[in-house]
A and B are shown apart, each in its own frame.
Chain A
Amino acid sequence: QLHLQESGPGLVKPSETLSLTCTVSGGSISSSGYFWGWVRQPPGKGLEWIGSMYFSGRTYFNPSLKSRVTISVDTSNNQLLLHLRSVTAADTAVYYCVRRTSRYSSNIYAVWFDYWGQGSLVAVSS
Chain B
Amino acid sequence: QSVLTQPPSASGTPGQKVTVFCSGSSSNIGSNTVNWYQQFPGTAPRLLIYSNDQRPSGVPDRFSGSKSGTSASLAISGLQSEDEADYYCAAWDDSLNGHWVFGGGTKLTVL
Contact = CB atoms under 8 A, between A and B. Distances in A.
Interface string A32-65: 0000000100000011110010000000111100
Contacts of B51: 103, 105, 108, 110, 112
A117 B44 contact: yes
Interface stretch (B18-26, B75-83, B90-98): B90-98
A60 B99 contact: yes
A96 to B, nearest CB: 6
Interface string A88-126: 000000001000000101001111111011110000000
A111 B99 contact: no
A60 B51 CA distance: 20
A110 to B, nearest CB: 4
B47 A113 contact: yes
A47 B90 contact: yes
A47 B102 contact: yes
Interface residues of A, number: 24
A113 B99 contact: no
Contacts of B103: 46
B52 to A, nearest CB: 8
A38 to B, nearest CB: 11
A48 B97 CA distance: 17
Given A112-B51, A113-B47, A47 B97 contact: no
Contacts of B90: 47, 112-113
A110 B33 contact: yes
Nearest to A110: B51
A108 B96 CA distance: 22
A47 B105 CA distance: 8
Given A46-B105, A110-B51, A114-B56, A60 B98 contact: yes
Interface in B4-46: 32-33, 35, 37, 43-46
5 contacts: A48-B102, A60-B97, A62-B100, A103-B51, A114-B50
Interface of B: 2, 32-33, 35, 37, 43-47, 50-52, 54, 56, 88, 90, 92, 96-105
